[in-house]
Amino acid sequence: RTFEWRTMQHPDQHAKYDQRLFTRGKRSYQLVMACLGITFFLQYPTLVEEAIRLNQCQEFDQGTHVTRLLVRDYRIDCDSEEYRRKQVLSIVFLLSYGLGIPLSIRLVGFVVRVVEGQQAEDSTFIFLRKGYSDQYPYWELVSMLRKLVVIIVVTFVVDPAWRIYAAIWAVAAFLGLQVWVKPFLLPVMNHLETLSLSVILVSVNMALFWQLSLF
């Protein structure tokens, strides 16, 4: 059916269709790196959250003492040696995935540019670079790190009030960076990103007011 559909098209439509193909003009290694990059990019939040879950403990008041159990598996005591081993492993995975994936994508892009040129880098990682200015083509990696920072704050800061404070500082820092850099090509995209971060910042501040019982 695809063949019949293409034979019925006008030659100009054939040309436009071919130009839109993701595989057009790409070599095998570019397709492999692009597919791996897309896969890791989409799996990034899940991988980070899975590594973080090994650090989430819940307290249970037993009357005479307080027991801390791992949320992922309530059979594991967070004060036991078994948990400490799992915690070390989770931190290793967190750093490997949380920092390794963005840095690896940037490093591979740099290598492709050195070996094959700027055009090859652009076409290989167009799924990340599309919409951003030439000065900040990999700004999407900053967004990935922003998610990592927020997840770390929510997980490792135990005190609820300090957790909200840390989240406010983190979001405010990335908001300021967005306003200062303006990484998108279109001004409207910069405005939308600034607006979305501002909404998040306001929401976290409202959570702080609620935590401090100011309402």
Question: What are 170-185's pLDDT values in tens digits?
Answer: 999 999 999 999 999 9
What's the token pair of residue 51? 């590594």
| Identity of the residue numbered 156 | F
What's the token pair of residue 156? 């490792």
Please state which of the ranges 41-45, 49-53, 168-172 shows the lowest mean pLDDT. Answer: 49-53
- The DSSP symbol for 157 reads -
Q: Give residue-wise pLDDT tens across range 182-210.
A: 999 999 999 999 999 999 999 888 888 77
The answer to whether 132 and 183 have CB atoms below 8 angstroms apart is yes
Alpha carbon distances (Å) from 123 to 35, 73, 109, 119, 185: 12, 44, 10, 6, 17
Alpha carbon distances (Å) from 136 to 81, 92, 166: 45, 29, 27
What's the token pair of residue 215? 């309402």
